[in-house]
Chain A
Amino acid sequence: MTVVLIFLAVVLSTSIWWLSHQRLGAKPWLESGLKNLDHGSHKVSLPKAKIGLLVVLAVVGMLFTLLFSSHFMRQEIEDWRSMPLPNMLWVNGILLLAASLYLQSALVVARRQATRLKILGRGTSMPVSIENNGKHGNSVKSMLINACILTVAFLIGQSITWYELNGNGIFLSGNPSSSFFYVLTGLHGLHIIGGLVALFHTTALAGSDTQLHKIVNKIDLCALYWHFLFFIWCAMIFVMLGWTYDPLIELCKRVIS
């Protein structure tokens, strides 16, 4: 359970760090009035959707770290046989990384566009379509579409991986290492599908007349979710490679010696 406790420690220390900025040492029975309460730490400065997403990511993180912990605990029982990871996984990883990067660049461009409009005095509250704002708009939209395509390609790639493994006789109910492989990748895939629904929605909005800042916020959320799922994916591969992956062990040994 070490992995999950480390993750939990990170989540709890972040929460306690935030709480420590909430004047937990105040003596509310001695203070009345509204004065001195409005600056600083009255509310979390992030939009509520982003806080919501951060909470969801903490929960998703717990889910995966618990599975990682279970993986490590199960690994110690002698019937465990590590399975070879299909090479296709590396391709899939690059696809997901590319999708994540596309979302990040879409966010950067959309933010720049929003700032430009603000400087021009047009504000962000008037309906402005990203699409109709020159090359920036088009590039945001196409970046979002690219991210969608790459993510769908990632999912297809993952399915091909499953198919290949099945063809090679590595089934869900075989050795526990393959059971964990299917459960982990399956759960990760489900989270990606959930995210795709939001990404499709955002991409569709980017084409219609919508308030720019709303789109920026939505792209921000999608980008954060994708980065997180890419991070989870990397952690997942690392866990499944484990310490049984010879080249990795060799490399470590060489570094140490």
Chain B
Amino acid sequence: MVETENTSPPSVPPAEVEEVELYHATSFWTKYVFSQDAKIIAIQYSGVAIAIGFVALVLSSLIRLQLGFPEMFDFITPETYYQFVTMHGMIMVVYLLTALFLGGFGNYLIPLMIGARDMSFPYVNMLSFWIYFLAVLVLVGSFFVPGGPTGAGWTLYPPQAILSGTPGGKGLGIILMLVSLALFIVGFTMGGLNYVVTVLQGRTRGMTMMRLPLTVWGIFTATVLALLAFPALLVATVMMLFDRLLETSFFMPSLVEFGDQLSYGGGSPILFQHLFWFFGHPEVYIVALPAFGIVSDLISTHARKNIFGYRMMVWAIVGIGALSFIVWAHHMYVSGMHPYFGFFFATTTLIIAVPTALKVYNWILTLWNGNIHLNTPMLFSLGFIVTFLNGGLTGLFLGNVIVDIPLSDTMFVVAHFHMVMGVAPILVVFGAIYHWFPKISGRMLHEGLGKIHFWVTFVGSYLIFFPMHYIGLVGVPRRYPELGDAAFIPDSVATLNSFISLAAFTVGVAQILFLYNVFWSLRKGRPSGSNPWRATTLEWQTPHTPPAHGNFGPELPLVYRWPYDYSVPGAAEDFLAQNDPGSLDSGSST
């Protein structure tokens, strides 16, 4: 880490913003461990999320070992395979992506970008991280209990999730999973409360909602979605725990297991599906909306061009957020629903394509004639746009009932959601880390290593997931540890599976390069200065890099303009920062 003084002349007029009481830590423990500073909490969140994400990455390699080279590794049994799949999915979606985008980027960027000293409720924010950490510990603990973690699939569908035929179903595995999810939700709600209230209340003077960077819009809307969607998962979790531990029958129908009539009766597995997907679909946008926001800021900064259609972008974020609550049953087309019901959900699903496509057009029009710097953050952003588009296109297939039914539960679905919800957001995560690392550490990440990391990850991901669409189209089902000698599966599938696995290992190893880059750059990276990207948003205008406690020195910045004044004719540099009164501080229009 390197400390840098901001050398630009102070253009901040005297504070006219109400000051807040700031908590000042006195000891090492309160400063770095039980810290109430959003920036430290952000780093804690990100560290834990990335660490557990690497566990999930290893699990995915184990899955690929089995799929690519079946019967070669004795330690992978069908049971362990299901456990790998379940934990991989759950960790990636909830404990990595949600926690990293909202807990990590949200905590770091919201106060800095809106000109606040810290979150509105710092103590609750600290609790949020520690409860999340506890949730992760419980989750990791489930690897070490007798019977191992649950193998119910990340959707945890009853009745199989809590029956003895499923790994962890009768042991502690499923219980720990459910407890961990409940903890995660409680912890997240505490954090989410902070993000929402801080955006509503903590903005500095001049920072209207329509001057917020799109990153903040994305994180803010995603948080609102998460606050409203996670209770559905909590309800499902609690009810399933009751079914498992206290033999209620919320979700469990009457059934016979290994010749024994179980005491359950009458419960509805479909009810669980409704609850799960009522959370599960907004979850896609909880991950996607921050990614949308971040990408907008990244391409605007690195193409030196104002974002095209800012208002449309904001409306699209809000529109997608609202629509995401009325599409959940498109995950349940094969559950035997009424055809009109399927028609309704197919329609709403396809309607979401409108604001989403609008965003893609706007990104492309932002890039059009821009001064595109093909540095690592820009490469990752471009990678995201292409990947999201690809994933979105297969979404049109699966959104239609008639096409979805034959494709349901095939590898096509796996390929689709990995493109749209796995690769795409992860590319943004990397782009964002390359972009904001200089602010967090004061040093640049190594550009050459970054580019190698990008190309291997990007091309590798396509080598993994493009062939997987084909495998799905020929009818290979998902969730099968081995395919055996099914007549409808051509030999090419086995070859392709081995190929995909090799590509996956390569991409996996490339992530070590990224870790190496981070640790190397922390010590030896080129000092970045306070604003290496010549960006306009407030986090780059702090007096110290990394930002000190309280973010902005003695006086809070005043905001005079929107965050996308790039390539401004006549400006000293080619941009005007948000807190730069410039020559246009009279309030008149240009």
Contact = CB atoms under 8 A, between A and B. Distances in A.
Interface of A: 1, 4-5, 8, 11-12, 15-16, 19, 22-38, 42-44, 48, 51-52, 55-56, 58-59, 62-63, 66-67, 70, 73-74, 77-80, 172-173, 176, 179, 183, 187
19 contacts: A30-B590, A32-B584, A32-B590, A33-B561, A33-B586, A34-B559, A36-B587, A37-B208, A42-B203, A43-B201, A48-B120, A51-B197, A59-B228, A62-B227, A63-B234, A74-B271, A173-B246, A179-B250, A187-B238
A67 B581 CA distance: 52
A44 B201 contact: yes
Contacts of B239: 70, 183
A24 B221 CA distance: 15
B306 interface: yes
B556 to A, nearest CB: 13
Contacts of B196: 51, 55
What 4 A-B pairs are tightest by C-beta distance, nearest first? A35-B587, A79-B266, A28-B562, A33-B587
Interface in B250-308: 250, 263, 265-268, 271, 274-275, 278, 306
A52 B267 CA distance: 37
Given A24-B209, A29-B562, A44-B200, A66 B232 contact: yes
B227 A58 contact: yes
Contacts of B193: 52, 55-56
Interface of B: 120-121, 189, 192-193, 196-197, 200-203, 205-206, 208-211, 224, 227-228, 231-232, 234-235, 238-239, 242, 246-250, 263, 265-268, 271, 274-275, 278, 306, 310-311, 314-315, 318, 322, 325-326, 558-562, 564-565, 581-582, 584-590
Contact of B306 (A29, A56, A59, A78): A29
B203 A43 contact: yes
Contacts of B322: 12, 16
Given A15-B224, A34-B206, 11 more contacts: A4-B232, A23-B209, A23-B210, A28-B210, A32-B584, A33-B560, A33-B581, A37-B205, A58-B228, A77-B268, A172-B246
Contacts of A4: 232, 278
A59 to B, nearest CB: 5
B120 A52 contact: yes
The A interface is mostly helix, strand or loop, or mixed, namely helix
B253 to A, nearest CB: 9
Contacts of B210: 22-24, 26, 28
Nearest to B588: A33
A62 B225 CA distance: 12
Contacts of A78: 266
B247 A24 contact: no
A2 B320 CA distance: 21
A235 to B, nearest CB: 15
Nearest to B18: A43
Given A66-B275, A70-B275, A183 B238 contact: yes
A99 B325 CA distance: 36
Nearest to B226: A59
Given A37-B206, A48-B120, A176-B248, A59 B564 contact: no
A51 B266 contact: no
Contact of B585 (A25, A32, A36, A37): A32
Contacts of A23: 208-210
A42 B227 contact: no
Contact of B242 (A25, A44, A74, A183): A183
Contacts of A29: 306, 310, 562, 564-565
A96 to B, nearest CB: 22
A31 B120 CA distance: 28
A66 B276 CA distance: 11
Contacts of B278: 1, 4, 66
B235 A67 contact: yes
A1 B328 CA distance: 11
Contact of B227 (A19, A38, A59, A176): A59
B231 to A, nearest CB: 4
A32 B205 contact: no
A225 B302 CA distance: 47
A70 B249 CA distance: 12
B585 A66 contact: no
A206 B364 CA distance: 59
Contacts of B585: 32-34
Nearest to B561: A32
A59 B189 contact: yes
Contacts of A63: 231, 234-235
A44 B199 CA distance: 10
Contact of A31 (B192, B197, B315, B589): B589
Contacts of A70: 235, 239, 250, 271, 275
Nearest to B206: A34
A52 B210 CA distance: 22
Contacts of A67: 235
B562 A172 contact: no
Contacts of A79: 249, 265-266
Interface centre among A25, A28, A48, A52 (most CB of B within 10 A): A28
Contact of B249 (A1, A27, A62, A176): A176
A26 B208 contact: yes
Contacts of A19: 209, 318
B267 A8 contact: no
A80 B249 CA distance: 11
Nearest to B274: A1
Contacts of A33: 560-561, 581, 584-588
Nearest to A67: B235
A51 B224 CA distance: 13
A24 B202 CA distance: 19
Contacts of A58: 227-228
Nearest to A65: B231
Contact of B211 (A28, A38, A55): A28
A34 B224 CA distance: 28
Nearest to A25: B311
A77 B201 contact: no
Contacts of A16: 318, 322
A51 B268 contact: no
Contacts of A187: 238
A208 B204 CA distance: 34
B586 A38 contact: no
A49 to B, nearest CB: 8
Contacts of A43: 200-201, 203
Contacts of B120: 48, 52
Given A27-B311, A33-B560, A77 B266 contact: yes
